[in-house]
Amino acid sequence: MTRKLLIVGAAIAALSVAACNQKPDETKGAATPAEQAATPDANPAATVPTPSDETKAATFVTKAAATDMYEIEAAKVAAKRSTNAEVKKFAAMMEKAHTKTTEDLKAAIAASGATLTLPMALPADLQDKLDDLNKASNEDFDKTYADDQVDVHQAALNLMQRYAQDGDTAAIKAFAAATAPAVQEHLNEAEGLKKGFVH
């Protein structure tokens, strides 16, 4: 029994020594700035802003404003194309609500004293969503709009909650905290709308 313990102990010690000997190489390999800089290029998903980036005012403002811009444009499309009274009503509410949110965001930026500008164009992912909405067939339009509304409002809610909790600029954090409940309400309504189009 004692012999077995000694052998096991020796094996553990040998493994520990081997592990210690490997550490400098591993650290040296991972620590080079060139390798670290190259990592995002090797993984396209790594170029998407991470949740920690969303705690920075500039990233938050860009994403929040882009969501508003998308919502307003999508609502205009729905107002023209939908034949469903509920969808039209929801779209009208979205256009009004997100126009107000943009104004509130501008006021929060001004109050913060930060020099931040709102984007003038949609980012590629939201532009693609808008293009797909425009291309949707008449039969699929309302369902596509409702699906998109759930997705975009869920992402917006996550963004607002994260910044309200961990954001780096007080006035903009207050905006995120005040806006999150309205986004939650919109998400609930969008989910209700979506349920009406489940095939």
- Segment 37-64, tens digit of pLDDT: 443 444 444 444 445 488 899 999 999 9
Sign of the torsion angle spanned by Cα atoms 137, 140, 144, 146: positive
pLDDT per residue over 155-169, tens digit each?
999 999 999 999 999
Q: Closest Cα to residue 71, out of 177, 167, 182, 198?
A: 182
Does position 17 have pLDDT exceeding 60, yes or no?
Answer: no
Q: HSE on the CB side for 77, CA within 13 Å?
A: 23
Burial of residue 127 (CB within 10 Å: 0-12, 13-18, 19+) is middle
pLDDT for the residue numbered 113: 92
Calpha distance 112→119 (Å, rounded): 18
* Distance of alpha carbon 93 from alpha carbon 87, whole angstroms: 10
Distance (Å, whole) CA 148 – CA 163: 22
What is the pLDDT, as a whole number, of residue 44?
A: 40
- Residue 196 one-letter amino acid: G
Check: CB of residue 62 under 8 Å from CB of residue 38.
no
pLDDT tens digit sequence for 91-107:
999 999 999 999 999 99
Which residues are within 8 A (CB) of 18 and not within 5 positions of it... i.e. 6 or more apart? Answer: none
**What is the Cα–Cα distance from 116 to 186, expressed in whole angstroms?**
26
Average pLDDT on 124-137 reads 96
Q: How far apart are CA 5 and CA 132, in angstroms?
A: 67
Contact residues for 99 (Cβ-Cβ < 8 A; gap 6+): 68, 72
Q: Is the pLDDT of residue 32 over 50?
A: no
| pLDDT at position 6 over 50 | no
| Whole-prediction pTM | 0.72
| Residue 196 confidence (pLDDT) | 85
C-alpha to C-alpha distances, 15 to 23, 29, 72, 153, 188, nearest whole angstrom: 12, 21, 61, 51, 55
State the Cα–Cα distance between residues 59 and 52, nearest whole angstrom. Answer: 10
